[in-house]
Structures are given as structure tokens and as C-alpha cells.
């Protein structure tokens, strides 16, 4: 067993983790900051974010408007005090990252430019061409290189969290390079390990987004909040799932069914294709269910078409990245041909429960980014409202964790728990030999989640999904990890991820069956209306050996009384 000690530990090197690392390192140069990540930071999913990040920068815009858009988008499940705090924290982050070199797109006079995005009442999406996440990530990584007190541990895979007397104790990891079991001790910890979108088959996410952070926290007793809310982006490119940005529709793209007809009028009479993601995703699925989906050269996959042909003259200038992607990955020229799309998982609204100061219920443990739920996104996140969250609350978590580290001493390691985890990895997991294939379990899980706990949900469907999860959990006990290598064992990594996914799938499905209403990303065909009388509340799931235990906490309402969400 290898032991490494750092004052502040950060799990995850995406946008939230890097922002937190820089904040903690700047807070006090004498604090050592250890950033632990299963990927080199620049390989994190955050580099894929395309469209933009919302910030109130113009005197014509204001914080109330940004708050209102966010809250309405959330289908009133967001905590309004959290949202009001959030919108005020963002602008400084835009300017700070500008000083650090982020190439925010500009107006001719050199000031930062902004544009429109779905669900915004003022065009406040700040962007770096259509590579917003990529450029912000390069900026944060470059800034992190400046600080000697930031130590990046590349390709250490976290397997568990140790909590002792309701305080942070340590995280356990495997160094992928040599399979060395490595325990990181720290005074404080920030969870920034991203979302859980790859629990589903068809997804815009990077392959690496498997919900590890959520599952690790959950197993150690931290509550997960609102995990049943998964966002489906209407336009994942078939068959890869690569995102076709919302800008394709906001710039004027049409969605067509197999009759070649536009259909959005039936589902969002005013906003049409520009309606929010959950509404457009459902519209596409209704069309597909009604037999008006397209079946073509992509096997059994049924989809609809995105038509940009009437916008041929603006494609190169306004939508260069997706034009390139369609050509490169599908051999399709959007100026002349239709683009096959269907709804794909895109965002995990739920996550580890934290308060408005990024604190979890456990002393010394904080969290930021897609890994946590504050909640500012409620039942549905607005486009362009996540990267800014990573910056604003990543920064805050960094400061809070640093403050905590300054006033606490290093806890002594709970050796028994650390040893027990080592035993679980090498003597249990690696030695299981029932012949079940990890990749096959993963595929079966994903197919079942798509079918049963996807865009449309019903009691029967979800229960079917739960039965499948139970069966898959049994099969997981009988896996054989065919690779016994001690060097970069990708099969072991997959096995650990699938173990996490199975736990989370159960939380999502059971939370979904209990929520007998439709709100934002959670749509129950058997309960198609929002039910504020019974369900204007957050779901909290806590681990037990028999499965998740559910409780509920109220939503904080400040100024905006829940109203019907019409677009």
C-alpha cells in the first residue's frame, strides 16, 4: 500500500476540479493541493462542451432574469437561493478566465461577445467559438501549471472513500500505470468527478463519464439528490451520439419526420424547434413511437432528420464544428443532406447533495460540477448553465476546502478500512471467476436504461428496469476479469465502473418510480402532469445494504412562485 498526503484533495480534473485546484492553491501558497484523476485532466469530458456559458455581463441584462430563466428551465425544482447566488458568482469567473488566457469570442471593439441559447430571455451565452469547454479547460490547465503547490496525479482511479466520525479520512485509488494500491490522505476533499451519462447507451458524453464520483460518495454514506433527473439532448448524431449543438436549431434548423414534415408545431406551438431540450426530446420520441421515425442505413436505430439545407450559406461561419463532424464521422454534407439525430443522455441533474457553500453533510468534504447537486438545475438544466457552474462553484469549493485545511490537522488513516478495500479489489473482484463478461453486463444495463428509464417512463417500464438491474447485479458477482495484468489494466477499470453504474442505476430507477409526476427531464406517461402538491421536493437517496433508502427535502422558493412551464 502506497500512501500520499496532501492538504486539499480534489477528485477529478475536469472544469470543476481544475478550477477548484487553482482556487485552493491561490488561497494559500503553503497549502498542498493534490488533484487525483483517472484521466489526464485535458482528457476530461469538459473539453467537449461546445455552445457557451451563461453570464450576466451586459447592463441590459440582470441577475433576476438569469435566475428566472434558470428556475423556469428547472421546472421549479431548483433552490432559488442557490440560483440567486450562482448567477452573481459567474461574471467574475468569465473575466478571471479571460485574464488567464481564455479566448472568449469578441466583438470588433475587443469586448467579450454573447449570443442566444435555448431558454434564455437575454442572449447571455458567452462562448469561445463552438469550443467553449475546450478553451476553458486549456486555460485552467495552463493556470494550474503555474502553481508548484498543485500536484496532479494522472491516471489514478479512485475506488472508494473513507469517512471516519462523519469527517473526511481518505480516498483509495489504483495507480493505473502499475496497479499499485494508493491511498490519498488529506484534510479536506472536493468531489469533482463529473456526471453519470454513460449509464445509457445513446449518449453525447465522453466514454469516461460513468458516475464514479456519485457512486463512491453514495457507498460511503453521502446522500445523492434528485438522481432520477437525466437530461436528454434532442440531437445526438446517429450512430455515434456525438452532440449536434443546440445552435443548429437556434440558428434555424428544422426537424423532419419520415414523411419529410416538420412536427414541432404539435408540441411547442410558439417556440417550435427552439423549445427547451426536454420538450423537443419528447416530441421526437412521440414521432418515433407513432411510427413516423426514419429507418435508414443505421441498422435498427430509428431517428428523425435535422435539416440545415436551407441554411447552407451560414454553416461554415455559424456552425463550423458540427458541419465538420457530420462530414467527418458520417460522410454527410449538411448543406445538401439531412443529418440523422435522436435524443441522447446529455446531463445528470442530480448528484451528491451539497449546500449553497458546496459542503456535503460530512465534515471536510466538498463538491462541485456535475458530480453534485446544489440544486441550481432542478429537474432540467438550461443549456449553457453547467460550465459556468463548474467555474463558480469550483472556485468556491476550492476556497472552502482550503479554509478547512488551514484550520484542521491531518486525520490519522483508518487502516482497517483502507486494508479492507485493498482486499476487496485484489482478493474479491480480481479473483471472481463466474465467467460473466463485464462489457456484456454494461451493454445490457445501458440498453435496459434507454428502454425503461429513458425519455419516457411508466411504472411498469421502470419496474422492469429495476428487475433487470437486480439481475445484472447478480451477474456482476460472477464476473471474470480476463486481464490479470498489473499494468494499465483497462478491463479492471471497466469492471470498477460497471460496479458503480449498477448502484447508480438502482438509485435512478427507484427514485423515478417513486416520483409519480412529470417534471423537466423526468417524464411519466402514467402521470403526465407536474404535481406541486406532492412532489415539489428533492429526492434524497442514502445507501443501505438492501438498496437505497429514500427521503425528501423541501425546495427553497424565494421570489418565483411555481407556474406552468410553457414555451
Partner 1 sequence: MSEKNYEFVVKRKDDNGKESYSSYEVPKDKISTVLEGLIYIKENFDQTLSFRYSCRMEICGSCGMEVNGKPRTACSTIVSQLGTDRVKVDPMKHYEVIKDLVVDMDPFFTKYSEGLPYIIREGEEDYSSEIPQTPEQFKEYEQYSMCIKCGLCMAACPIVGSDEDYMGPAPLAAVLRYNKDNRDQGSKYRLEIVDGDEGTSRCHFVGECTEVCPKGVDPSFAIQRLRMQGVRYELGKFFRRRK
Ligand X SMILES: Cc1cc2nc3c(=O)[nH]c(=O)nc-3n(C[C@H](O)[C@H](O)[C@H](O)COP(=O)(O)OP(=O)(O)OC[C@H]3O[C@@H](n4cnc5c(N)ncnc54)[C@H](O)[C@@H]3O)c2cc1C
Active-site positions read 233, 249
As measured in angstroms, the least distance from the Cβ of 116 to partner 1 is: 19
User: Contact region for ligand X (CB under 6 A) — 72-80, 308-316, 335-343, 386-394?
Assistant: 386-394
Distance, in Å, from the CA atom of 216 to the CA atom of 347, rounded to the nearest integer, reads 19
Kindly state the cell numbers that stand for 265: 408545431
User: Contact region for ligand X (CB under 6 A) — 21-29, 43-51, 63-71, 271-279?
Assistant: 43-51
Q: 482 touches which of partner 1, ligand X, none (CB within 5 to 8 A by kind)?
A: partner 1
DSSP 8-state code for residue 381: P
Query: Cβ of 429: how many Cβ atoms within 10 Å?
Result: 17
As measured in angstroms, the least distance from the Cβ of 40 to partner 1 is: 6
Q: Which of 385, 452, 468, 518 binds ligand X (CB under 6 A)?
A: 385
User: Contact region for ligand X (CB under 6 A) — 206-214, 277-285, 356-364, 426-434?
Assistant: 206-214
DSSP-assigned states of every residue in 235-303: EEETTT--B--THHHHTT-EEE-TTS-B-GGGT-TTTGGGS-HHHHHHHHHHHIIIII-EE-SSTT-EE
For ligand X, the binding residues in 51-70 under the rule CB under 6 A are 51-53
Cis upstream peptide for 530 (omega within 30°): no
- Is the separation of the CB atoms in 163 and 185 below 8 Å? no
Distance, in Å, from the CA atom of 81 to the CA atom of 361, rounded to the nearest integer, reads 19
End-to-end alpha carbon distance in the chain: 56
Query: Given the complex with partner 1, which of 325 and 512 has the nearer CB atom?
Result: 325
Taking CB under 8 A as the rule, which mask of x and - marks residues 23-62 in contact with partner 1?
----------------xx-xxxx-xx--------------
Q: 211 touches which of partner 1, ligand X, none (CB within 5 to 8 A by kind)?
A: none
For ligand X, the binding residues in 216-275 under the rule CB under 6 A are 243
Query: Given the complex with ligand X, which of 207 and 561 has the nearer CB atom?
Result: 207
H or E stretch covering 129: none
- Is the separation of the CB atoms in 33 and 186 below 8 Å? no
CA proximity to 11, closest of 146, 173, 251, 221: 173
- Is the separation of the CB atoms in 507 and 205 below 8 Å? no
The verdict on 11 binding ligand X (CB under 6 A) reads: yes
Taking CB under 6 A as the rule, which mask of x and - marks residues 505-544 in contact with ligand X?
----------------------------------------
- Is the separation of the CB atoms in 229 and 350 below 8 Å? yes
* Beta strands across the sheet bearing 53-54: 53-54, 125-126, 114-115
For partner 1, the binding residues in 289-348 under the rule CB under 8 A are 299, 325, 328-329, 331
Q: 563 touches which of ligand X, partner 1, none (CB within 5 to 8 A by kind)?
A: none
Taking CB under 8 A as the rule, which mask of x and - marks residues 420-439 in contact with partner 1?
-----------------xxx
Radius of gyration, alpha carbons of the chain = 23
For partner 1, the binding residues in 89-108 under the rule CB under 8 A are 92, 94-96, 98-101, 103-104, 106, 108
Kindly state the cell numbers that stand for 58: 451586459
Kindly state the cell numbers that stand for 251: 440558428
User: Contact region for ligand X (CB under 6 A) — 10-18, 273-281, 407-415, 512-520?
Assistant: 10-18
In this structure, the strands spanning 230-237 and 339-348 are antiparallel
Distance, in Å, from the CA atom of 192 to the CA atom of 314, rounded to the nearest integer, reads 38
Q: 437 touches which of ligand X, partner 1, none (CB within 5 to 8 A by kind)?
A: partner 1
The verdict on 282 binding ligand X (CB under 6 A) reads: no
Taking CB under 6 A as the rule, which mask of x and - marks residues 77-96 in contact with ligand X?
--------------------
Distance, in Å, from the CA atom of 299 to the CA atom of 327, rounded to the nearest integer, reads 20
DSSP-assigned states of every residue in 392-413: HHHHHHHHHHHHHHHTSPPPPP
H or E stretch covering 150: strand 150-154
As measured in angstroms, the least distance from the Cβ of 565 to partner 1 is: 32
Query: Given the complex with ligand X, which of 157 and 404 has the nearer CB atom?
Result: 157
Q: How far is CA 406 from the centre of its chain?
A: 30
3-state secondary structure of 215: helix
For ligand X, the binding residues in 389-428 under the rule CB under 6 A are 390
CA torsion 116-121-122-127 (nearest 10°) is: -40
As measured in angstroms, the least distance from the Cβ of 457 to ligand X is: 21
As measured in angstroms, the least distance from the Cβ of 543 to partner 1 is: 28
Bridge partners of 550, per DSSP, are 541
Q: Which of 135, 225, 346, 377 binds ligand X (CB under 6 A)?
A: 346
Q: 158 touches which of partner 1, ligand X, none (CB within 5 to 8 A by kind)?
A: ligand X
- Is the separation of the CB atoms in 399 and 444 below 8 Å? no
Taking CB under 6 A as the rule, which mask of x and - marks residues 548-567 in contact with ligand X?
--------------------
The verdict on 534 binding partner 1 (CB under 8 A) reads: no
Kindly state the cell numbers that stand for 450: 434507454
User: Contact region for ligand X (CB under 6 A) — 368-376, 395-403, 426-434, 466-474?
Assistant: 368-376
H or E stretch covering 376: none
Task: Report the interface residues with ligand X, using CB under 6 A.
Answer: 11-17, 36-39, 41, 44-46, 48-53, 132-133, 157-158, 192-194, 204-205, 209, 212-213, 243, 346-347, 369-371, 384-387, 390
Task: Report the interface residues with partner 1, using CB under 8 A.
Answer: 39-40, 42-45, 47-48, 92, 94-96, 98-101, 103-104, 106, 108-112, 131, 134-135, 138, 142-143, 145-146, 154, 177, 206-208, 239-240, 242, 299, 325, 328-329, 331, 437-440, 443, 481-483, 485-491
Amino acid at each position: 500500500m502506497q500512501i500520499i498526503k496532501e492538504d486539499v484533495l480534489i477528485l477529478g480534473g475536469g472544469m470543476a476540479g481544475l478550477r477548484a485546484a487553482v482556487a485552493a492553491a491561490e488561497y494559500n501558497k503553503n497549502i498542498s493541493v493534490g488533484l487525483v484523476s483517472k484521466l489526464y485532466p485535458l482528457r476530461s469530458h469538459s473539453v467537449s462542451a461546445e455552445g457557451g456559458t451563461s453570464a450576466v455581463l451586459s447592463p441590459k441584462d440582470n441577475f433576476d432574469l438569469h435566475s428566472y430563466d434558470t428556475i423556469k428551465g428547472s421546472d421549479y425544482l431548483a433552490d432559488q437561493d442557490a440560483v440567486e447566488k450562482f448567477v452573481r458568482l459567474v461574471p467574475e469567473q468569465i473575466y478571471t478566465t479571460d485574464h488567464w488566457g481564455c479566448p472568449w469570442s469578441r466583438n470588433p471593439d475587443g469586448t467579450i461577445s454573447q449570443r442566444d441559447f435555448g431558454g434564455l430571455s437575454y442572449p447571455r451565452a458567452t462562448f469561445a467559438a463552438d469550443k467553449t469547454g475546450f478553451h476553458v479547460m486549456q486555460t485552467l490547465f495552463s493556470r494550474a501549471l503555474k502553481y508548484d503547490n498543485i500536484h496532479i496525479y494522472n491516471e489514478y482511479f479512485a475506488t472508494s472513500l473513507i469517512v471516519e466520525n462523519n469527517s473526511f479520512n481518505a480516498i483509495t485509488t489504483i495507480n493505473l500505470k502499475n496497479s499499485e494500491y494508493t491511498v490519498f490522505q488529506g484534510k479536506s476533499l472536493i468531489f469533482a468527478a463529473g456526471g453519470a451519462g454513460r449509464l445509457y447507451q445513446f449518449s453525447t458524453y465522453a466514454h469516461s463519464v460513468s458516475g464514479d464520483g456519485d457512486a463512491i460518495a453514495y457507498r460511503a454514506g453521502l446522500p445523492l439528490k434528485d438522481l432520477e433527473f437525466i437530461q436528454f439532448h434532442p440531437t445526438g448524431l446517429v450512430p455515434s451520439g456525438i452532440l449536434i449543438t443546440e445552435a443548429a436549431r437556434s440558428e434555424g434548423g428544422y426537424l423532419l419526420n419520415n414523411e419529410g414534415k416538420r412536427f414541432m408545431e404539435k408540441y411547442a406551438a410558439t417556440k417550435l424547434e427552439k423549445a427547451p431540450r426536454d420538450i423537443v426530446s419528447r416530441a421526437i420520441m412521440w414521432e418515433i413511437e407513432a411510427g413516423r421515425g426514419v429507418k435508414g442505413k443505421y441498422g435498427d436505430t430509428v431517428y428523425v432528420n435535422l435539416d440545415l439545407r436551407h441554411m447552407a450559406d451560414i454553416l461554415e461561419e455559424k456552425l463550423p464544428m458540427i458541419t465538420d463532424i457530420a462530414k467527418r464521422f458520417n460522410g454527410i454534407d449538411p448543406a445538401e443532406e439531412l443529418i440523422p439525430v435522436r435524443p441522447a443522455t446529455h446531463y445528470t441533474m442530480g448528484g451528491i447533495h451539497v449546500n449553497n457553500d458546496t459542503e456535503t453533510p460530512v465534515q471536510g468534504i466538498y463538491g462541485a460540477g456535475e458530480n453534485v447537486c446544489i440544486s441550481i438545475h432542478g429537474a432540467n438544466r438550461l443549456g449553457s448553465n453547467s460550465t459556468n457552474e463548474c467555474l463558480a462553484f469550483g472556485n468556491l469549493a476550492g476556497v472552502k476546502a482550503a479554509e478547512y485545511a488551514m484550520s484542521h490537522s491531518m486525520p490519522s488513516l483508518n487502516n482497517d478500512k483502507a486494508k479492507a478495500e485493498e482486499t476487496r479489489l485484489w482478493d474479491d473482484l480480481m479473483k471472481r471467476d463466474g465467467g460473466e463478461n463485464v462489457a456484456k453486463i454494461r451493454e445490457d444495463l445501458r440498453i435496459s436504461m434507454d428502454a425503461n428509464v429513458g425519455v419516457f417512463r411508466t411504472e411498469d417500464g421502470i419496474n422492469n428496469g429495476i428487475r433487470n438491474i437486480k439481475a445484472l447485479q447478480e451477474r456482476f458477482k460472477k464476473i471474470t476479469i480476463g486481464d490479470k495484468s498489473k499494468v494499465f489494466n483497462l478491463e479492471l477499470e471497466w469492471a470498477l465502473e460497471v460496479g458503480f453504474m449498477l448502484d447508480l442505476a438502482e438509485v435512478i430507477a427507484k427514485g423515478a418510480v417513486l416520483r409519480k409526476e412529470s417534471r423537466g427531464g423526468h417524464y411519466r406517461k402514467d402521470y403526465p402532469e407536474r404535481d406541486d402538491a406532492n412532489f415539489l421536493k428533492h429526492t434524497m437517496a442514502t445507501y443501505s445494504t438492501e438498496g437505497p433508502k429514500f427521503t425528501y427535502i423541501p425546495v427553497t422558493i424565494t421570489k418565483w412562485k411555481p407556474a406552468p412551464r410553457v414555451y
